[in-house]
Amino acid sequence: MRLGIKLLLVAAVVAAAGVMIGFYVSDLTTLAGSPAYSVPVQNASSGHPVVNLEFQTVAAIGPKFSQNPDWVSYLIKTTSGWKRETVWNLPANATVHVTWLNFDGASGLRNPFLARPQGMVGNSIKVDGKTADHIDPNDASHTFAVPALGIIAAAPGVADDAKNQCGFAPCSLSNAHRTVTFTFHTPAKGGHFRWQCFVPCAAGWIDGFGGPMQTIGYMDGFLNVRA
Amino acid sequence: MTAVAATPQQPIWRRLIGFNLLTGIVLGIGGWYVGWFGAHAVVGPSIDYFGDIDYNELSVYLAYLGGVVGFLVGLGFFNYPFARLRGYPPSLREKETAGWTRYFGLCTDHKVVGIQYLWGIGLFFFIGGLNAMLIRTEQLSPHGQVFPMGTYLTIVGMHGTMMMGMMTSGILGPFANYLVPIMIGARRMAFPRIEALTFWILMAAGAILTTTIFFGGFPTGWTGYAPLSNEANAGMDNYVLFFALVGISMTLLGLNMIATILTMRAPGLTWTRLPIFVWGVLSTAVLMVLAAPVLVATLSMEALDRTAQTSFFVTAAGGSNYLYQNLFWVFGHPEVYILALPGFGIVLELLPVFSRKPLWGYRLAVAGLLGVSLLSWFVWQHHLFVSGINGDLRPFYMLSTELISIPTGFTFLCGMMTLWRGQIRFTVPMLFCLAWFFNFLLGGLSGVFLSDVPSDVTTHGSFFSMAHFHYTIMGGLVFTFFAAIYYWVPKMTGWELHQGLGKIHFWTMFIFFNSTFAPLFAAGFLGQPRRTPVYSGSLKFLNDWVSVSAFLLGISMLIFLFNLIWSLGFVKKPAVANPWASRSIEFQLPSPVPVHNFDRIPVFSSDPYGYGEGPAPNWVVPAGAPAGRE
Amino acid sequence: MAADPAAAPRRPTDSTNHGLRVVVAWLVLSAVATPLVAIFVGRLIPPGNGSVQGTEQVFDNTWMVSVVTPVICLLAVFFVYGLFSFRAAPGAAVVDGPPLRNDSQIQVLWIVITSVIVLFLAGFGSYELLQNGAGGGQGPNPVAIPSGPKMQVQVIGQQWQFTYRYPSLGGLESNQLVLPANTDIELHVTSLDVVHSFWAYELGVKADANPGVDNVAYVFTKGPETFHVRCAELCGLWHPYMFNNGRVVDSAQFHAWAAKQQKLYAAIKPFVNKSPDQGGTPYAHTYLPQPQRRAG
């Protein structure tokens, strides 16, 4: 084979390999991840911002949001509607008012300890408007927990025989739901804190912790607290 | 005069549409669909593709198995069995004797299989190495966020799994397949088609593992511990199938080696005259044949747990996670000696050539190899010291693990005494062998720390144990792998590798390998756990140093790759038959070795280490010697 | 030109006593290096003196690194000396060395010395281990049990955090690990789902958390300190984040902490102790496994 042709062949193979590796690596940086959403600050006052964090949990995410339509998932309310993004940017030293709409039924907690809210203001949550310092662990549907900040909040589930239960996300207030509200503070120093659900709610996986329970963008995410 | 006529070479268009890799890939894809739809005929209609892989693991398994079978059909592995069923006489009719296309299909020439292995394993070694570079990129920051967490765990798992699966056959595949028949004076392996089968199964397995990330990856690392593996996404099935196929390939490879070495030695080649490399291959092959089936059985149980809702490893349903751990490590510990022993064989084989002295303590060296092989069965619970095994077992396994350093020491002694008072030539293969002493010393001594239970309490599951096995496996096996390449590739291809580039490759690889892994002993002692991209901020400098060294180590591999392509593809300087002045029989043959190895089967009179004992070679071909079996 | 192995002439015999030189150099180097390593490297060896078990591990590791030092010295001296003295003249024709194939005295000496080292290390390690388990998990039927009173703490691994139960405080559960100083603690490590591993670095404790199994480990705390708890067995997505800090505090602080936690725990306590058929959670009773259930 002539030298020129050989060089061209080697160059072509190296280029093809480079392109494939490039695609592979860039794929890896986004697979099973989630884009970040910056939760808007309500007041412009420096030093102690206030944000409203509103999210919902649904029994089946649906084909509009995912290739796995029957996975349970969180959705965040953004300025442009509900999105399946679980990486949230929050300001440091902020007061975060959380409103959580749960459209899913109960699975039950494996460890009843996690049914006791802690880490938020007053170590209690409001369930459908009523203050509660615990929920029935058997009735737990999902949790929102940030272990590094000591925050554990569990939401009770929609009753099995409730009317007008939500099918695929996004769910609206006219569907059967439970509302949980609480307030917590982000640390002054900032940091990168993971949050997760602790209820074994991934139906079809052994221990209930497979699939959506182990995938960022569904039942797991990050709080990026930026100083 | 050969006893078999060379197969006439067919025109290229005929070779392209015949049974070869292309046909294999096409039929493999077809087989994949057959398996997939076949599964649905059994378990019911599919929801949709992704719904399937969430809930219908059986279709995933049958699809991949169908793909592998289709691949093998397309390569032509079923042609001979069907021909025999129809009454054709036994033959090696696939043995093409010339043409580059025979490397891309089923060829029963053991030398072709050896070269196929070299390139195939090299390809997956580089893919595994790429994953290692990605791991070190993530580890640059204590809060590593280059890759999403689940993907990172898959990358870690892929690196380990790819390396362990592929490098197990890293020396036996390319070098034992090529050299063992020549070294024992035979024309072929005992089972040439099975030899080719082991290679192509391994390639199919590698393809399956590479695609795992697109099916959700797997979160368990290369050890695949249940019950986490039971709850993993469909990417786990790729892992299970990869390792099961690797296990089958390993078993057949070992079987072939044992049968060949036991039955096909030329006249006069008694056990005390066998080259030490062949002894290394034999002691490894015994482990392969006995350990790999345990892996296949374990993974079959895992597959059943994932598809048929059995509960081998699910405690709540009566199983036990300990079952998986014990079964895995009963395979896993002999597995790491499968990785290490061929390296011992290569070092002891090359040292006499480059010290110009006989191998010192031949019988002790053999005893060391066999002793390691035997003792490797009695140590596996040292991976489980803190897992909650019965407390009475721990002193016993501590003792047995410490004892295995005694036969390992024999290899050190024989190597060192071979160097003693020698005429040492620092060629590139020799440099890699000398580096083996340094690396395996550190690896072995760190193993002593890990075998001591009080010390293991802190170092188990930390970067210390990771540095230990990288020193023994990469410092031991991979360095000798490159020694073997520089030593034997001129013989296999007939072209020289550039020695200057080889020395640059060696020195950069040695320096940056140590620079990468030595600090990890410290990281482990300081409390950094394995498989974790999130670590204490005080360890950032250490991790950054290691990452930069790892990138430079990767570049040293690129230097090697450049040397390979440049020397074998462009410069193509013909190699002399015996560039190293070796007394071993393969270097008395032309480069590359002719198709039928020997015109006449030689008769051996001593081992190939007669340096300084006179000029007579250790083998002769008496007139009238039989032409040997084809 | 092919290098012809048959034509290599023998080098004239060298009468220098290389062996003596190597042995002397090795003895000198070892004599200097071993005490230096034992003293200066010894104090750096983890995991430090946070607990009695931690101190034992440091002692054990110091001994081992001191035994290993002469081995490294031997190989260092051998190779540095050997590779210089025995190198072939560069560029010259290939010359053979002397045909030395064996020396049974050296073989026997080597086997005896390596066996002695290995048996010593195994014996020494076993002695350390059998005193109180060296901080490692011993399964549900531990054999190395320290004498004296012990405080039980249950460590519950779950995906993906550790929680801790204190039977002696009325079954109090908390996500903080606080231990009283100068106390012998009996840790019962278990898991609710997959295999985790409880690793308290400064305390020198590591015990795997297996579902349905009670893995017992002992640690004798010393003075007040903060220690790091990490999961040391890959358990899924958030394994790398499965860590927290634990504290060893003096007795007064411990009781103050316990009182605060009791107040928090009171709300959920009724659910924990109720049996499933009375409306209690089905899992609450499955994770203090029966002591007689054997591991493996």
> In this structure, what CATH number is given to the domain that contains residue C213?
2.60.40.420
With CA atoms as reference, the chain B residue closest to C46 would be B525
Report which of residues A47 and A106 the model is more confident about. Answer: A106
Q: CA of B143: which chain A residue's CA is closest?
A: A192
Nearest Cβ partner of A209 from C193, C267, C281? Answer: C193
Q: Assign 3-class secondary structure to chain C.
A: CCCCHHHCCECCCCCCCHHHHHHHHHHHHHHHHHHHHHHHHHHHCCCCCCEHHHHHHHHHHHHHHHHHHHHHHHHHHHHHHHHHHCECCCCCCCCECCCCCCCHHHHHHHHHHHHHHHHHHHHHHHHHHHHHHHHECCCCCCCCCCCCCCEEEEEEEECCEEEEEEHHHCCEEECCEEEECCCEEEEEEEECCCCEEEEECCCCEEEEECECCCEEEEEEECCCEEEEEEECCCCCCCHHHCEEEEEEECHHHHHHHHHHHHHHHCCCHHHHHCCHHHCCCCCCCCCCCCCCCCCC
Q: Is B456 on the interface with C (CB under 8 A)?
A: yes
- Torsion angles phi and psi, residue C168, rounded to 5: -75, -10
Supply the pLDDT for residue C68. Answer: 92
The closest CB to that of C195, out of B225, B390, B453, belongs to B225
Average pLDDT for residues C6-23, to the nearest whole number? 72
The pLDDT of residue C291: 37
Instruction: Test B151 with A28 for CB contact under 8 angstroms.
Output: yes
Q: State the average pLDDT for chain A.
A: 89
* pTM attached to this predicted model: 0.93
Residues in chain B with pLDDT < 70?
1-10, 15, 43-56, 92-98, 144, 622-630
Same domain? A68 vs A144: yes
On the question of pLDDT at C275 being above 90, the answer is no
In terms of domains, do C124 and C218 share one? no
Q: Are residues C125 and C177 in the same domain?
A: no
Spell out which residues of chain C touch residue A137, defining contact as CB-CB under 8 Å: 268, 271, 281, 284
Considering only CB atoms, C139 lies closest to which of B219, B388, B578, namely: B388
Quote the percentage of chain A above a pLDDT of 70: 97
Q: Let me know if residue C286 belongs to a domain.
A: no
pLDDT, tens only, A78-90? 999 999 999 999 9
Interface-testing mutation among A2, A3, A28, A225, with chain B (most B C-beta atoms within 10 A): A28
Half-sphere exposure in the Cβ direction for C3 (13 Å, CA): 20
pLDDT digits (tens, 9 = 90+) for C69-128: 999 999 999 999 999 999 888 877 888 888 888 999 999 999 999 999 999 999 998 988
Report the alpha-carbon distance of residue B541 to residue B546 in Å, rounded: 9
CB pair distance less than 8 Å for B148 and A29: yes
Percent of chain C surpassing pLDDT 70: 87
Do C166 and C247 lie in one domain? The reply is: yes
pLDDT at site B630 = 43
Neighbours of chain B (3+ CB pairs under 8 A): A, C
- Put simply, whether C281 touches A (Cβ < 8 Å) is yes
Nearest CA in chain C to B233: C236
- For residues C123 and C177, membership in a common domain is answered with no
Residue C290 lies in a domain: no
Q: How many domains does chain A have?
A: 2
The answer on A77 and A139 residing in a single domain is yes
Considering the domain architecture, whether residues A11 and A104 belong to the same structural domain is answered as no
How close, in Å, is residue A41 to chain C by CA atoms? 28
Closest CA in chain B for residue C82: B420
Stronger pLDDT, C138 or B629, i.e. the higher one: C138
A138 and A220 part of one domain: yes
Query: Is there a single domain that holds both residue A19 and residue A104?
Result: no
Q: Are residues A7 and A93 in the same domain?
A: no
In this structure, is residue C140 part of a structural domain?
no
Question: Which residue range(s) make up the domain with A67?
Answer: 36-226
Residues A113, C268: C-beta atoms closer than 8 Å: yes
Partner residue opposite B227 with nearest CB, options A27, A207, A215 = A207
Domain residues for the domain of C252 are 151-278
Same domain, C186 and C119: no
B233:A211 CB<8 A = yes
- pLDDT at position B95, please? 59
> pLDDT at position C287, please?
46
Candidates C166, C210, C283: best to mutate against A (most CBs of A within 10 A) is C283
Residue percentage of chain A with pLDDT more than 90: 53
Q: How many A-C residue pairs are in contact by the CB < 8 A criterion?
A: 81
Residues A41 and A23 in one domain: no
Which chains form contacts with chain C, at 3 or more CB pairs under 8 Å?
A: A, B
Note whether B143 contacts A204, CB cutoff 8 Å: no
> Averaged over C24-48, what is the pLDDT?
89
Q: Which of B55, B151, B156, B212 to mutate to test the interface with A (most CBs of A within 10 A)?
A: B151
Asked if B273 is an interface residue toward chain C (Cβ–Cβ < 8 A), one would say: no
Test C75 with B437 for CB contact under 8 angstroms. Answer: yes
Nearest-by-Cβ selection for A28 from B134, B230, B233:
B134
Q: What is the CATH number of domain B123-620?
A: 1.20.210.10
**Of C46, C56, C296, Cβ closest to residue B390:** C296
What residues does each domain of chain B span? 1-99, 123-620
Whether residue A69 sits in one domain with residue A130: yes
Same domain, A100 and A203: yes
pLDDT class of C2 with cuts at 50, 70, 90:
very low
- What is the count of residue pairs from B and C with beta carbons less than 8 Å apart? 313
Nearest to A68 among B50, B213, B219 (CB): B50
Same domain, C235 and C158: yes
Q: Do residue C123 and residue C168 come from a single domain?
A: no
Which residues 119-158 of C are in CB contact (within 8 Å) with A?
A: 156, 158
For residues C130 and C185, state if they share a domain: no
Could you tell me the pLDDT band of residue C272, with boundaries at 50, 70 and 90? confident
Q: Is the pLDDT of residue C11 over 70?
A: no
The residues, any chain, with a CB within 8 Å of residue C27's CB and separated by 6 or more, are: none
What's the domain count of chain C? 2
Q: Are A43 and A24 part of one and the same domain?
A: no
B166 CB-side CA count, 13 A: 30
Same domain, residue pair A27 and A89:
no
